[in-house]
Amino acid sequence: MRPCVLVFAGLDPSGGAGLSADLQAVAGQGAHALTVCTALTVQDNDRVYGVQPVDAGMVLRQAQALSRKMSISAVKIGITGSAANALAIAEVIMRLRERQPELPVVLDPVLASGHGDLLSRDDAAQALAPLLPLATVITPNGPEAQALSDATQPDAQARVLRARGCRHVLITGGHGEGDEVFNRWYGPGAAGGEGGLRREWRWTRLAGEFHGSGCTLAAAIAGQLALGMPTAVALENAQHYTFHALRDAYAIAAGQRIPLR
């Protein structure tokens, strides 16, 4: 039997991000994705034109039907679509943790598309509030980390997020500039104090833009954790996987390429 990752995310009709990306990335780790749809979207490989949240009751029922029969080894959360959905997801996680206190939860705090298109009917940062204390790993990019923390520097951003309950913070640097991408991991066991910088990775910045890169990374981390990998190993393996998926990305139209997951 393969370990299962319970995935909460939106449906991207282009197949580049959201549930499609998560399913492929989780499978790429050797785990199986159980996909709960939080929102229907109107989008292509570049832009989001509309978002219709799924009813929170339906989100809850989808997750309950799956978790009653399947053993959940990790949870991955992408866009919630609404504040009500975020509350429903939090309820699911708290119930699962009554039986599995150490159940890993990976939160990709998607606040907008790469072009700034909104992905929630509500204030996306506010809607995530009930999920932050439940996150084992949160994977914000630079703009997301700033929006969630009101801080401009990675160290300060991580301190705020950890104070809000996130155990491990991986701030990614894909939205920066320069020839290299810096990904910074903050969490327990850091030298020089609780919750400081544990490790920094440097990756060659690849040319072009990619659709679903953040989904790929977070889902790969969840898949690794579902396999029982320690956090450090999961972060390392997932980043290697994501880098190669982006390096070998393919085109389906002009604009952002699709990672080869």
Domain-located, residue 253: no
Residue 113 belongs to some domain of the structure: yes
What residues form DSSP beta bridges with 112? 118
Provide the percentage of residues in the chain whose pLDDT is more than 70: 93
Specify the range with the lowest mean pLDDT, choosing from 123-137, 165-179, 239-253: 165-179
Looking at the chain, the whole-number percentage of residues with pLDDT higher than 90 is 85
Residue 258 lies inside a defined structural domain of this protein: no
Instruction: Average the pLDDT over 97-120 and give the result.
Output: 81
Asked whether residue 200 is assigned to any structural domain, the reply reads: yes
| Domain assignment present for 160 | yes
Q: Is residue 192 part of a domain?
A: yes
pLDDT digits (tens, 9 = 90+) for 60-91: 999 999 999 999 999 999 999 999 999 999 99
Does a structural domain hold residue 252? no
> Does the residue 254 lie in any domain?
no
Distances in Å between the Cα of 111 and the Cα atoms of 80, 140, 146, 148, 240 are 10, 9, 11, 9, 25
pLDDT at 122 over 70: no
Range of the domain at 190: 4-247
Q: Using CB atoms within 10 A of its CB, is residue 69 exposed (0-12), middle (13-18) or buried (19+)? A: exposed
- For the segment 141-156, what is each residue's pLDDT rounded down to a tens digit? 999 999 999 999 999 9
Diameter of the chain by CA atoms?
48
| CATH of residue 115 | 3.40.1190.20
Number of domains in the chain: 1
Task: Indicate whether 124 pLDDT > 60.
Answer: yes
